[in-house]
């Protein structure tokens, strides 16, 4: 039996030489493949290197988790923005009717009045009503006894005269001016002044909404007592020349957005209008009107 198996493992001289050559060739190929670099070195220009670096950054941002879906919270419909109105299903005409009404210094005090001004449909109003949040004092007035008469004596008239107020420029308001508004004390007034100093002056009354601690009712009162008569002198940033560090100085622009701006700018031969900004992924659409006040598109 062993004799019959032995014949399978016996090789002729030529077979042994061929087998040895095959082993040597296999080892040589493996060694060469491991030690030798077969990649070709391509020299890139400085512009190509910068573009490639930006692409890597942009690609890494795209791989990040998607932004949280837009969540709707209770809000005062007097301060609805273009973006929020769009998300709620309002048309541009309906939003503009409300904005035009608000520019007159007027406010809507109920859902019915909101529909009367904007001309939205009954079905859309039904979906929006659960999120409407009007000031508390409005609801109190709604359920107050309307048949009750209020009489004023001379002291009441004197008080009304003392409380008379001439609307002032928010950028010229002092701490004492702000503290005359019901609901604003020393801490809140300091926050408003600090915010104004950080921004170099308010360019929009909407920026008061960014002051922590201001309730919608107090903001309404601020808008009735103060206004923006003249925009502060701000050195506009040339968006097509600005660095990431410079872009981060613009209110509402975060680091990921600044990177997207740089990437879009390099791939589209610059940013020339507000429409270009709206094409940038993640750009805060609801703040675009304020942001553009800080930018120079030339």
Convert the pLDDT of each residue in 29-73 to its tens digit.
877 767 665 555 556 676 666 666 666 666 655 555 444 445 666
Which pLDDT belongs to residue 192? 94
Q: Identify the weakest region by mean pLDDT among 84-88, 125-129, 276-280.
A: 84-88
pLDDT tens-digit map of 95-116: 889 988 988 888 888 888 999 9
pLDDT tens-digit map of 253-281: 999 999 999 999 999 999 998 899 989 98
| Residue 253 belongs to domain spanning | 237-296
Residue 232 domain flag: no
Residue 172 domain flag: yes
Residue 200 domain flag: yes
Residue 66 domain flag: no
Q: Is the pLDDT of residue 140 over 90?
A: no
On whether both 250 and 289 belong to a single domain, the answer is yes
Residue 151 domain flag: no
Which pLDDT belongs to residue 134? 76
On whether both 242 and 223 belong to a single domain, the answer is no
pTM of the model: 0.47
Residue 69 domain flag: no
Which pLDDT belongs to residue 173? 93
pLDDT tens-digit map of 193-223: 999 999 999 999 999 988 988 888 888 889 8
Residue 255 domain flag: yes
**Residue 287 belongs to domain with CATH number:** 1.10.150
Number of domains in the chain: 3
Which pLDDT belongs to residue 129? 85
On whether both 243 and 214 belong to a single domain, the answer is no
Residue 63 domain flag: no
On whether both 223 and 242 belong to a single domain, the answer is no
pLDDT tens-digit map of 215-245: 888 888 898 899 988 888 888 999 999 999 9
On whether both 123 and 95 belong to a single domain, the answer is yes
For the record, the structure tokens of 41 come out as 């070195």
């Amino acid at each position: 039996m062993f004799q019959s198996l032995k014949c399978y493992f016996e090789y002729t001289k030529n077979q042994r030489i061929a087998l040895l050559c095959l082993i040597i060739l296999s080892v040589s190929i493996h060694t060469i493949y491991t030690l030798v670099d077969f990649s070709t070195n391509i020299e890139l220009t400085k512009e190509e290197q910068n573009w490639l670096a930006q692409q890597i950054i942009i690609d890494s941002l795209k791989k990040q988790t998607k932004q949280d879906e837009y969540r709707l919270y209770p809000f005062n419909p007097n301060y609805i923005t273009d973006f929020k109105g769009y998300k709620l299903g309002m048309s541009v005409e309906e939003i503009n009717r409300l904005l035009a009404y608000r520019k007159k210094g007027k406010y809507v005090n109920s859902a019915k009045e909101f529909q009367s001004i904007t001309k939205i449909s009954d079905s859309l109003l039904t979906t929006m009503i659960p999120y409407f949040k009007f000031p508390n004092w409005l609801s109190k007035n709604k359920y107050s006894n309307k048949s009750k008469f209020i009489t004023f004596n001379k002291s009441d008239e004197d008080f009304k005269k003392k409380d008379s107020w001439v609307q002032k420029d928010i950028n010229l308001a002092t701490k004492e001016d702000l503290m005359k508004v019901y609901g604003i004390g020393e801490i809140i007034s300091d926050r408003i002044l600090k915010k104004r100093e950080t921004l170099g002056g308010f360019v929009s009354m909407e920026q008061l909404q960014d002051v922590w601690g201001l309730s919608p009712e107090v903001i309404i009162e601020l808008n009735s007592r103060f206004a923006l008569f003249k925009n502060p002198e701000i050195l506009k940033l040339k968006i097509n020349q600005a660095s990431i560090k410079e872009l981060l100085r613009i209110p509402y622009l975060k680091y990921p957005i600044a990177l997207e701006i740089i990437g879009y700018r390099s791939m589209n031969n610059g940013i020339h209008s507000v429409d270009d900004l709206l094409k940038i992924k993640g750009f805060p659409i609801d703040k675009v009107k304020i942001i553009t006040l800080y930018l120079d598109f030339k």
